[in-house]
Chains A and B, each alone.
Chain A
């Protein structure tokens, strides 16, 4: 606000002074020069008021003529001067103003002001996303799809332009600024009480580090999420309390290891974290027995190697530049893996799976195509470095395609949107394949062929007022009660409780007879309709009374009395 006004005032100072002085001089002159009447007799000069009036219409080139009487020649001489002087003064002023409007600094001030106003107008929790690269794009899309507010800071203008032409369900204010500077972070609402978290997703580790430090220093209580591509940075970020650090390569290695060991677990997680209205994925079964060939031993290759080796799998590593990145202790094959010879040396004919994990998409695709020719039964895992190559990876027939940006975005989205789901994933990792398969078939029965809706519930006065009241009145509510349909308690809602957190106890798949206590946190999955129907019992004490006991609530003294008179009792209101 201030910047714009002050910019205008400062720039307009000189033109306005010129204008005032010109007016003052010309008005003075006009009010001193005598006029002449129709008979040629001299008349007194124009009054100051009339002089100002004449000047006002001449200077602005409106020109009514010689008012109130025809001028004397002396007056005309003065008017000639006046016209040139005043028109030039006006042109100068207006020219300066227009130049100011086109000025970059001025336009930037306007954009920043508009941005700041939009950020302050947000009246719901929002997340501050720094960096609008591929990860940022995917995260912003995912969050806005779930109707969460986001503010973006990005220092590349074309990416900001891209954001503005993309369609999001929520308006996303974006600022062209360097997220490393704390003042820009503040301008983007870091100090706002609605700011729920800062997400640092730039492709530069040091920038992410700087953002995390600034956010933790200025607002220690908010959550900070960071992307880190090296263990070094990760340790640095963790040292000052960054809440969640995501390493795409480690994340994928864990995913791949889980997919080999317990495919259902991966599928379960994919279903639960899927976007609304998506169809259910089919399970994939990577071979758990046999030799795997791993191409590329960089950050990605090392992470995958460690995880798979820990599971006792047979692995052969192919690396083009072993001198730079090294090879595992038991050795490997030197070569790019794009030619049949190297692959054969690694034993591709007898292998069951192949991971193409170099940082070059062309090489990865070439490895996949060559390997497929040599051994068509291979299970193919590919690392996709750029999102625009997605179609090529599909065409080549890769079974699992790993995209670093998307993995980080997905994990942060789940963490931000449904934190309990992220917890569930952590605890479920210790469950076995059969457990996950059983759960998957239960969910499939609930939701048919759509991705289940996943929602969290905290038993407190705001989200479950009726349940809290019932608890204090000595009629504690069980989980089973909540899962009954409030219009017919014999029907069960198509929903399932996945996780219950009671104080520090965590229960996976809590049983129906569990009594809900104030402060409990629950994670449900089911159809969207079930989610809304459940609200009745949570908030309305009559609905809760009905699902709990089957009894019909009374609606105040008068209706109770009327009901007794008219014999409504015993009937069930639907």
Chain B
């Protein structure tokens, strides 16, 4: 067992599970989507992205790109949140909640691809 692989897999799967946790619930209901959870999703995704740095294989490159996509979506979601709550002062209306949650939904698909690739790689390199 390679501890590096454990950490790597841990963060990639955690990124997906947290993302899913934030995503589930009614699309436009702010009570179903916790800000802290979004924060955790962003942090864990950042860590997962950095862990994927420096892998020169083809699959490593695709893994990195899925993570970059997820980060792009998540940062967009965070910006919408910050704008709604702090800048415009409109608060979390169903409209903004819906757009935040759908953005993280996109990030989740990227994370799903990431996990699928991880599983595929694990199977292909079974030793």
For chain B, the bracket of interface size reads: 10 to 19
Report the minimum CB–CB distance from B74 to chain A (whole Å).
13
B39 touches A27 (CB 8 A): yes
A48 touches B54 (CB 8 A): no
A12 touches B53 (CB 8 A): yes
A10 touches B43 (CB 8 A): no
For chain A, the bracket of interface size reads: 10 to 19
Please judge, given known A-B contacts A27-B39, A28-B39, whether A20 and B46 are in contact too, CB under 8 Å. Answer: yes
Report the minimum CB–CB distance from A44 to chain B (whole Å).
13
* B119 interfacial by beta-carbon distance below 8 Å: no
CB within 8 A of A21: which of B47, B54, B82? B47
- Scan residues 48-74 of chain B and give those whose CB is less than 8 A from a CB of chain A: 50-51, 53-54, 56
Which residues does chain B contribute within 8 Å of A27, judged by CB atoms?
Answer: 39
* A16 interfacial by beta-carbon distance below 8 Å: yes
Please judge, given known A-B contacts A20-B47, A24-B43, whether A49 and B82 are in contact too, CB under 8 Å. Answer: yes
A48 touches B50 (CB 8 A): no
Please judge, given known A-B contacts A2-B56, A24-B43, whether A47 and B86 are in contact too, CB under 8 Å. Answer: yes
Which residues does chain A contribute within 8 Å of B123, judged by CB atoms?
Answer: none
Which residues does chain A contribute within 8 Å of B53, judged by CB atoms?
Answer: 9-10, 12-13, 16
* B24 interfacial by beta-carbon distance below 8 Å: no
Please judge, given known A-B contacts A17-B47, A17-B51, A48-B35, whether A6 and B85 are in contact too, CB under 8 Å. Answer: no
A20 touches B50 (CB 8 A): yes
Cα of A21 to Cα of B51 in the assembled complex, Å: 13
* Interface 0/1 of A34-58, CB less than 8 Å to B: 0000000000000111100000000
Please judge, given known A-B contacts A28-B39, A48-B36, whether A13 and B54 are in contact too, CB under 8 Å. Answer: yes
A10 touches B54 (CB 8 A): yes
Which residues does chain A contribute within 8 Å of B43, judged by CB atoms?
Answer: 20, 23-24
Cα of A16 to Cα of B47 in the assembled complex, Å: 8
- Look across to chain B and name the residue whose beta carbon is closest to the beta carbon of A49: B82
Cα of A23 to Cα of B47 in the assembled complex, Å: 11
Which residues does chain A contribute within 8 Å of B39, judged by CB atoms?
Answer: 24, 27-28, 48
Cα of A73 to Cα of B31 in the assembled complex, Å: 32
Which residues does chain B contribute within 8 Å of A6, judged by CB atoms?
Answer: 54, 56
Residues of A within 8 A of B (CB): 2, 6, 9-10, 12-13, 16-17, 20-21, 23-24, 27-28, 47-50
Residues of B within 8 A of A (CB): 35-36, 39, 43, 46-47, 50-51, 53-54, 56, 81-82, 85-86
A-B contact pairs, 26 of them (CB 8 A): A2-B56, A6-B56, A9-B53, A9-B54, A10-B54, A12-B53, A13-B50, A13-B51, A13-B54, A16-B50, A16-B53, A17-B47, A17-B51, A20-B47, A20-B50, A23-B43, A24-B43, A27-B39, A28-B39, A47-B86, A48-B35, A48-B39, A49-B81, A49-B82, A49-B85, A50-B86
